[in-house]
Amino acid sequence: MEKFKKCLIFFLIASLVSACETAITPKQFSDLRYTHLPTISLAVARVDVINNYHTSAKKPHVESEFPISPAKVASNWLRDRISAVGGSDVVQATVTKASVLEVPLKRSSGIRGAFTNDQSERYDATLALKIDILDSRGNLLGTVSSEAKRSQTVSEDSTLAQREKVWFRMVESMMADLNRSLEKQLRQHFSRWLR
């Protein structure tokens, strides 16, 4: 009987200790790349990709918390889609904005608040790119730009994994908009450099 009690106590303690440990596995998001799309070949010497947007780690800015940085995805698009095939001019491709603001929303209070699941935050994202062609002396020969915005709310009971999924989709959809807009503009306004 004494041996049975010791075994029972051991299993109870082991169960309690293992129940206290919560394994949090980070969600893996694929890096958004655009190599599956045809490159836009321009008769230029090189393509310089510049990130002029400096992420803030202070609230209300939350882009640094995203599983994939909006600025990095925009830079990926510029590197994957635009290629230099020779010439004397230069493409200067710039990420001008890649911000995401977290806006707290008003929640229900009192008895109603105890029984409702409110939307607690709204994320307002803006992603903007500018593509310039400069001659060898630095004179501007052509420019195109585009900006995409998204806003999305999340409920107060959203887990970090659910929020990250929302954030990933926001970046993905903004880049889809920028891809359509910039490809159209490049073909329309940079036709003299298209190859």
Of the pLDDT bands very low, low, confident and very high (cuts 50, 70, 90), residue 56 is confident
Asked if residue 44 belongs to a domain, the reply is yes
Asked if residue 182 belongs to a domain, the reply is yes
Q: Residue 167: give the domain boundaries.
A: 29-105+118-189
pTM for this structure? Answer: 0.79
Domain count within the chain: 1
Of the pLDDT bands very low, low, confident and very high (cuts 50, 70, 90), residue 22 is very low
Task: Determine if residue 138 is left, alpha or beta; phi over 0 gives left, psi from -120 to 50 gives alpha, anything else beta.
Answer: left
Average pLDDT, the chain: 88
Give the C-alpha separation, 93 to 77, whole Å.
Answer: 10
Q: Would you give the distance in Å from CA 175 to the centre of its chain?
A: 9
Q: What is the pLDDT of residues 86-116, one digit of tens each?
A: 999 999 999 999 999 999 998 777 777 667 7
Residue among 171, 188, 182, 189 at smallest CA distance from 82: 182
Asked if residue 131 belongs to a domain, the reply is yes
Asked if residue 7 belongs to a domain, the reply is no
Asked if residue 17 belongs to a domain, the reply is no
- Which pair of structure tokens corresponds to residue 22? 């919560």
Looking at residue 109, its pLDDT comes to 78
Asked if residue 48 belongs to a domain, the reply is yes
Looking at residue 119, its pLDDT comes to 81
For residue 10, give the H/E element and its range. helix 2-20
Residues forming a β-bridge with 94:
50, 130
Q: What is the pLDDT of residues 67-86, one digit of tens each?
A: 999 999 999 999 999 999 99
Asked if residue 19 belongs to a domain, the reply is no
Give the C-alpha separation, 186 to 40, whole Å.
Answer: 8
